[in-house]
Structure 1
C-alpha cells in the first residue's frame, strides 16, 4: 500500500509541475516557423507517440497497451493503470530559395495518467500542448533623406496548452463511446522592435501585443468493432470536437530601450496603450477512420479529418483571410511478429505511416501543405512486459519555394514511455 501511495503522490506532483512547463514552453516543441505567425500558431496532433509512427492514425483501433489519446472512446480498452509521457523534437531547414537556416526545438510533449473505474469504464487525465507560436524575422531599411538605417525585428512566442479529463465506455461487446472535457489556457506575445542604427549607442522602440486566453473544450468519440473472419476485425471510429470560445484579456504596450553595448535596457516603464477583455473562437473539428485488424498481429488504418478555420475569430472578433479549411489524410501499418514468443524482438511493435495535411494557412494565394512519412517501434521493458518504450521518426516538408513563401524540410523525433501496473485496483485476498 505504501508503494502505491508513493507512486500516486509522485504522479500528482508530476502533473502539477508539468502544468507550468506546458504553459511557458509549448512553443519550443518544434522550433522556429514563420507559418506559426498565423492564427493561433502550429496545431499539434494530440496523438500518442505510438500513433505518430503510424502517420498519426488511431481513431478506430487500440490494443490497451498504450493509452489512445486520439479517440476518447477507445480509452475503454485500457484495463490497467497506465502512466504515459514523452519528448518530441524537430530539426528543420527553412529556405526561400535564396536564404536558408536550420533550427531545432524539443520539449516534453504530454503526460497522461489512465486508470479503470469499472470493468467497462476507464478514465484518463491528460496535459499536452495544443498550439505553438515561435517565429522571428528581421529586415533593415534606410531612413529617407539620411544615410542612417533602422532595423525592424518581428518576433512571436507562446501558444495554448490543454488539460483534459477523458472517459471511455464499452457498451455491449462491440461499441465504444467516449467524451473528453478539456481546458485550454495560454498566451501569445508578438513584439515589433525598431532599432535606430545611429551610433554605437542604439535606441530601441518596441511595440508589444500580448493576448492571454482560456476556456473549455468538449469532444466526443465512438468506435465499433466487427469480426469479419476468424482472425480479422473491421473497425470504424470517429470524433467530433465542438466549437470553443476562449475568453481573456489583451494588453498593448510601448517601450523605449537604450543599448550602450551591454544589451538593451528599458529607459522608463512601458506605456500601456490599451487593455481590454475579449476572446477568440476555435472552429469545430471532425475525424473518421477505418482499420482492418488482426489483434496483436496486423493493423492497417486509413483516416480523414477536417477543420474549417474560416470560422476562426481572432481577439477582435474577426475572421482572418490567411486561414482556410484544414484537412488531413493519414495511413498507417502496425505489425507485431508474435506476442507469445519467448524471443524479445518478436514482442516489438513495428510501425510505419504517411500523412498529407492541408494546413489552415493560405499565404499569397497558396494553400500550404505538409507531407511526411513516419516510422517507429515500441519495445517492451522486459520479456512479457506490458510497459513499453515508444520511438517515432518522421521525415517530411511543409510549404514551397517561390511566391514569397518558405519551405521547411524537417525530421521529427519522439521518445515516450508507456508504464503500466497490472496490480492496481485488485482486491487483496487473505488465505
Structure 2
C-alpha cells in the first residue's frame, strides 16, 4: 500500500516537475538546450558508466541489461543543482531542483521490460547585457538587451532486453520525444519610449530508437563485462512561431505582430558507445565507456554565432560493496561509487569547442526488504570557458534516487 501511494505521488509530482526549468545554463540557448544525462543516479555516480547488468537496479542506458533483472523495480531520481557562472568580469549564482527520471522495469523469464519518462534536454537561461553608446550628437544613451528561455524536450520510452545465452543479452528501446521551447529577447534604449520584444516558440516531437548488447565472460577469477549501444540518427519536427512586439502593449501604445517562420527538422545525431570492465560483480567493479556522436544540426531557427561538431565522451568509474549480505554492520552493506567523465559536447561557439568535465561520488544504501535502496550521488564539474568572451560554469549536483523492488508473477504454492 505504501509503495502504491508513493508511486502515485511520484507520478503526480513528475507531471509538474518535468514542466519546470531544468537548467540555468546560458549554453541552453543553443539548439534544443542542454542534453540531460539519460541514466539513473547509480550510473551517474560512476561517471555515467552504463555497461553493467544488475539484478535489482535499472540501467536505462543499455536496454540489454533488462534481461538481468530478478525483481520488479520502480525508480525515481531528482537533482539539486547549484551553479556558479562567470566571465572575465562578472560572477553570478543560480539554483535548480529537477526530476530526472520516473521508470519501472520487470522480469519475465529471459525477457526484461521497462517503461518510463525522463527529460531529454532542458532550456532555462536569463542573460542581460547593458552598455552605453554615443550618438553622433554626442548624447550618451543606455542600451539594454535581455534574453530569457525556458522549456525543453521530454521522452517517454518503452524497452525490452532478452537473454540470448547466459553470456549474451540484447535489447532495444523506443522513445517518443516531445516538448516546447520558448525564447524571449527584449531590446531597449533610454532615448526610445518603447522597447522591442521578440518571442520565438518551437513545438517539437519525434521518435528515437536505441539498441544494445552486453556480453559477460570470465577472465581467470574475474567477471568481465563488455557493452555496446547504438542509436541511429533521427529527426524531431519543429513547428516554429515568432511574434514581435513593442512594449508596454496597450490598445493605444505599442503593437504586436506575428511574423511567419518556416517549420524545420532538428536532427538528433547517430550515437555509438562501447565499454568494458572487470571485477567481482557482488563485491567490486571498475570499467570505462567511450561514446561517439555525429554532427548535429540542432541549432534552432533563432540562434547565431554557433556551429556543431562530432561529440565524444569518456567515462571511468566503478563501485565497491564490503559485504552486501552483512547482518551486523550496516556500513558494510553500503555500495560506494566513484567516477570521472570528460566530454566534448559538440557545441562550438565563437570557434571554441565547449567541454564538460566532472568528478562523481555516490552511495547506495539498502532500506527495508527485497533489496530496495536509496542512492545518493554528488557531481562536481566545469562546463565552458571564460576565453573568447564565453561563460564558464562551475556546478555541484546532488542527486537522490529511490529504487523500490518487488516480486511479480510468483505462482502460489498454497491457496
TM-score for the superposition, normalised by structure 1: 0.88
- DSSP-derived class of the 2:181 partner: strand
Q: 2:126 matched to which residue of 1?
A: 136
Contact 1:72 1:177 in 2 (8 A): yes
Do residues 173 (structure 1) and 166 (structure 2) align?
Answer: yes
Q: 2:196 matched to which residue of 1?
A: 205
Shift of 1:12: 6.6
RMSD: 2.6
In 2, the alpha carbon distance for the partners of 1:134 and 1:266 equals 33
Q: Tell me the alpha carbon deviations over residues 50-95 of structure 1, each in whole angstroms, 9 at most, x when there is no partner.
A: 1111101022x12222111010100111121111002112212111
Q: Tell me the alpha carbon deviations over residues 206-261 of structure 1, each in whole angstroms, 9 at most, x when there is no partner.
A: 1111111101001100000002234x2111001101111111311010123229xx
In 2, the alpha carbon distance for the partners of 1:195 and 1:401 equals 27
Q: 1:155 matched to which residue of 2?
A: 148
Q: Tell me the alpha carbon deviations over residues 115-146 of structure 1, each in whole angstroms, 9 at most, x when there is no partner.
A: 22x21111111111111122222223437344
In 1, the alpha carbon distance for the partners of 2:195 and 2:189 equals 6
In 2, the alpha carbon distance for the partners of 1:93 and 1:282 equals 29
Q: 1:340 matched to which residue of 2?
A: 325
In 2, the alpha carbon distance for the partners of 1:215 and 1:127 equals 15
Segments of structure 2 that go 5 or more residues without pairing to the other structure are none
Q: Tell me the alpha carbon deviations over residues 275-319 of structure 1, each in whole angstroms, 9 at most, x when there is no partner.
A: 54332111111110101031210111101001122x425566999
Q: 2:38 matched to which residue of 1?
A: 46
Do residues 186 (structure 1) and 179 (structure 2) align?
Answer: yes
Q: 2:389 matched to which residue of 1?
A: 404
Shift of 1:197: 3.0
Shift of 1:265: 11
In 2, the alpha carbon distance for the partners of 1:418 and 1:163 equals 19
1:29-428 matches, within 5 Å, as 29=22, 31-59=23-51, 61-116=52-107, 118-141=108-131, 142=133, 144=135, 145=137, 146-198=139-191, 203-230=194-221, 232-258=222-248, 270-309=256-295, 311-314=296-299, 321-342=306-327, 343-382=329-368, 385-422=370-407, 424-428=408-412
Deviates more, 1:401-410 or 1:219-228: 401-410
CA 1:257–1:143: 2 relative to 1, 3 Å: farther
Shift of 1:178: 0.4
Corresponding residue pairs, total: 411
CA 1:267–1:20: 2 relative to 1, 3 Å: farther
Segments of structure 1 that go 5 or more residues without pairing to the other structure are none
Q: Tell me the alpha carbon deviations over residues 370-396 of structure 1, each in whole angstroms, 9 at most, x when there is no partner.
A: 1111101100013x6400000000112
CA 1:313–1:380: 2 relative to 1, 3 Å: closer
CA 1:33–1:10: 2 relative to 1, 3 Å: closer
TM-score for the superposition, normalised by structure 2: 0.92
In 2, the alpha carbon distance for the partners of 1:143 and 1:372 equals 44
Shift of 1:41: 1.6
In 2, the alpha carbon distance for the partners of 1:79 and 1:131 equals 31
CA 1:169–1:268: 2 relative to 1, 3 Å: farther
